[in-house]
Each structure stands twice: as C-alpha cells, then as structure tokens.
Structure 1
Amino acid sequence: MLRLEKINGKNVWDILKLRVSDDQKNFVASNDISIIEAYTMISGNGYAFPFAVYNAGVPVEFLMIGFGVNDCWDDAPKIAQGNYNLWRLMIDRNYQGKGFGRKAIQLALNFIKTFPCGAAEYCWLSYEPENDVARQLYSSFGFVETGDKDGEEIIAALKL
C-alpha cells in the first residue's frame, strides 16, 4: 500500500538517494533540484507540495505538486495560473515496472482534489516529447495534450 509523506528533516536524505535509470536521467530533474525548486517556490509565496512516496515503510518515489505561479516563474505556461500541476514524479530505478507510478498518480490526484490551495479547473503536467512511457501513463488517467509547451516539454491537462 503506497502512502504520501511530506518531505521533512527525517526523510529528505532517503529521498535524495533515490535514482532513476540512466536512460531516464534526461526526463526528470534530480530530487535535490526539485526540493530546491519547492523551497524557492514556497519562500516566494507560491505553493509546492513535495512528497516522499512509501511502500511498506520504504521510500520508492518522489512526487511534487504545485499550484499557480509566483514572482520567480517568469515564463510560466498560461495553464499554470490558478491550476494545480503534477510538477514531478520520479520512481527509483529499483521500483520501476511494479505499478507504483500509477498508484502514486492516483494519490497525487486524490490530494489535488482536496483543493488545498482553493478550487481549480485543471491539473496539468509536462513531459519530454521522447518519453512515451510518461505519455501513455498520463493519457490513461485522462490527461490530454493541449498543444502548448513548457520550454521543450509537452503540456497535458486533466479537467478536475
């Protein structure tokens, strides 16, 4: 049974040890960068929710949810304003292919649907064009590509 736990002083070092496989390193930022981004978003009066994902007490994934934009995100895509985003999802290489990603996305969506920052119309995310595994996984939840991009990444959105 997977569960989310906010990143804290007790689990942050375990999350920093998680790694994706070598062929996925170009698809997701490292967890240290993600945690720094969460801190800068929060300290800039924005919203970020970094979580450790545990399976039977063992950290297996990192995910991060964001909401809206703040002053430090100059080139934010239009959909970011007033909406939630699944900002990061990384599964440790030792736990891939076991269905944990699918379960973590469901946990993330359950959290988002509590609307911790207020109501929103969409949850959005982005992924590298070459990441067919991500495209298929997100599509299976109903995320639809919008035709917009976040830098080089494809944006997909799910109506909440």
Structure 2
Amino acid sequence: MVNLKVINEANFLDAFQLKLADGQEKYVSNPIRSLAQAYVYRKQCQPFGIYDGDKMVGYVMVIYDYDIPEYDIWHMMIDASKQGKGYGGVALRLVWERYQRADTDAIFQTLDYACGG
C-alpha cells in the first residue's frame, strides 16, 4: 500500500538512496539538495517519503507560501527503478487529500510540465 511518511532523522538516509533516471537532473532536484532546502526553509516546508509498504520509492516536498497564502508541491521525484508504476499519481492524490483538510478557503491544482522530463 502506498503512503506518505514525514521525512525525519529516522528515514532521511533512505531518501539519499533515491536515484534520478539519466537526463532528469535538469528537471528534478537531487534528494540531498531538496532535503537541505527543506531544512533551510523548515518553517515552510514539509518533506514526505513516498512509501510502498516499508520501502521508500520517492519523495515529495510541500512548501507553504506565506505571500499568497497557499501550499505548493515544490519538489517531487520517484526513484528511477520505480518510475512508470503509478507511484507519482498516487502520491499526488495523497498530498491533495492531506492538504485539502488544511484550513484553507480555496484549493487549486495546477501542473507545470517540462517537455522531455
């Protein structure tokens, strides 16, 4: 069963094992860089591991933008060996469900797609 778990001191090393497919580096942040950003912006960011059972297969980071105010997915990746298996779509739905329950007046879903990525 696919689920989200907060990335913390107990599981952050699992995120470091996630690998991008060749050519994806220009579209997606490496997990080490992303988690460093989550630390720097820790009042705004929440990183989650995307798990299939007890195995981390990807990660997603949500950031709160105080200026708008809104929640956005800042970073998301699925391990190269697990891509094309539906994990990304399930993770998006789980993030959507989690933040739909947040204290908000409106919920928007947008997509910014980079061709070739």
User: Which residue identity does 1:62 align to in structure 2?
Assistant: Y
Structure 2 length-normalised TM: 0.89
Matched with 2:7 is 7
Moved >3 Å (runs of 4+) = 122-129
Structure 1 residue 131: Cα displacement: 4.4
**1:98-125 Cα distance to aligned partner (Å, 9 max, x none):** 011100100111111121xx31534466
SS in 1 for 2:47: strand
Structure with more strand by fraction = 1
Aligned residues of 1:4 and 1:53 also touching (Cα < 8 A):
yes
SS in 2 for 1:9: coil
Aligned residues of 1:52 and 1:63 also touching (Cα < 8 A):
yes
Of 87, 91, 94, the match for 1:107: 94
Residues 19, 123 of structure 1: alpha-carbon distance in 2 compared, 3 angstrom cutoff: farther
User: Which residue identity does 1:39 align to in structure 2?
Assistant: Y
Q: What is the number of residues matched between the two proteins?
A: 117
Structure 1 length-normalised TM: 0.66
Give the % identical residues.
Answer: 26
Choose 1 or 2 for highest CA Rg. 1
Aligned residues of 1:83 and 1:123 also touching (Cα < 8 A):
no
Distance 1:18 1:61 in 2: 7
User: Which residue identity does 2:46 align to in structure 1?
Assistant: F
Structure 1 residues 48-87: aligned runs within 5 Å: 48-69=45-66, 81-87=68-74
Distance 1:27 1:120 in 2: 31
Structure 1 residue 10: Cα displacement: 1.4
Structure 1 residue 23: Cα displacement: 1.9
User: Which residue identity does 2:54 align to in structure 1?
Assistant: G
Distance 1:35 1:112 in 2: 20
Distance 2:12 2:37 in 1: 14
**1:55-92 Cα distance to aligned partner (Å, 9 max, x none):** 021100110111114xxxxxxxxxx6201101111000
Matched with 1:138 is none
